[in-house]
Amino acid sequence: MAKLIDSIKSFVKEKILKNAHVRENIKSDYVLETRNLGITFGGLKAAQNVNIKIKKNQIYGLIGPNGAGKTTIFNLLTGVYQPTAGTFYLNGEDLTGYSQEKINHKGIARTFQNIRLFNNMTVVRNVMVGLHNNPEFKCSEATSILRLPRHYKVEKAMRQRAKDLLKIFDLEDERNNLACNLPYGKQRKLEIARALATNPKLLLLDEPAAGMNPNETEDLVKTIKYIRDNFDMTILLIEHDMKFVSGLCDEITVLNFGTVLAEGDTKTALSDPEVIKAYIGG
């Protein structure tokens, strides 16, 4: 019997887990550090050898022409795709290979390029979903079904927290509207509020200013800075709007065809001849 179990164990080890990623934490001064991160789809190298280092409280930009692999990087960092090469670390903790849920629990939250709200729920409840895993609002299924006092307490506290968050984004008055009925700009803001509700250490924003008018964009810049300052947040964002990026980001990485073209200080990186060539198409 014991022999059988051993043989099963060795089989699992050799055949199934043979190349599984062994996680190793490192000592890192950076909130996010990626090492040679890459993914290939069939023959297509969607991203390769991406090394990004983001310091605490930085607003970091990820830019590049269409199809450069920016959203792919986001998907890698949030576990939607599993990287085929490389690793990434959050505050030195290796998160490579974790599921989306787990990565979120570890402290990375994101928004989406094409807005993904819970359309049939009200605004306030969208945010409350974000608060779901907060240890403060822990409440088991049985507690809820039996309607123990804890359930009411938690619900009330969650609602209050959600309202507070919505206030920051000036969405408090809309809280009882269905999310799908909000105007576009407000939907984007709601997505950020919802991501923030999960209490992340690193916030990934995928084209937050897309489709906004200049006034709204200006407003957004203020809000993002406010988040960074008041929530002690580190932010990685994708954006096309150069003005937006140069006005907001401390450092950037420029991608093209899945590889890093330039990185570093926003101004220097943007004036790199390679970057200009990639954008203008020289």
With beta carbons less than 8 A apart as the criterion, state whether 110 and 78 touch.
Answer: yes
Q: Does 230 bind other proteins (CB under 8 A)?
A: no
Within 98-157, the residues that bind other proteins by CB under 8 A are: 99-101, 104-105, 109-110, 112, 114, 116-122, 124-125, 128-130, 132-133, 137, 139, 141, 144-147, 151, 154-155
Reduce the DSSP state of residue 144 to 3 states and report it: helix
> How deeply is 262 buried, as exposed, middle or buried, from its count of CB atoms within 10 A (0-12, 13-18, 19+)?
buried
**In the complex, least distance from residue 87 CB atom to other proteins, rounded to whole angstroms:** 8
Indicate the residue among 85 and 168 with the shorter CB distance to other proteins: 85
- Cα dihedral value 118, 122, 124, 125, nearest 10: -50
Nearest C-alpha neighbor of 228 from the set 242, 248, 246: 248
**In the complex, least distance from residue 2 CB atom to other proteins, rounded to whole angstroms:** 28
Using CA atoms, how far residue 150 sits from 67, 73, 204, in Å, is 49, 40, 33
Q: Does 178 bind other proteins (CB under 8 A)?
A: yes
Indicate the residue among 31 and 154 with the shorter CB distance to other proteins: 154
Give the number of other CB atoms < 10 A from CB of residue 29.
10
Q: Does 237 bind other proteins (CB under 8 A)?
A: no
Question: Can you give the binding site for other proteins, defined by CB under 8 A?
Answer: 16, 18-21, 36, 40-42, 71, 75, 78, 80-86, 99-101, 104-105, 109-110, 112, 114, 116-122, 124-125, 128-130, 132-133, 137, 139, 141, 144-147, 151, 154-155, 158-159, 173-178, 194-195, 197-198
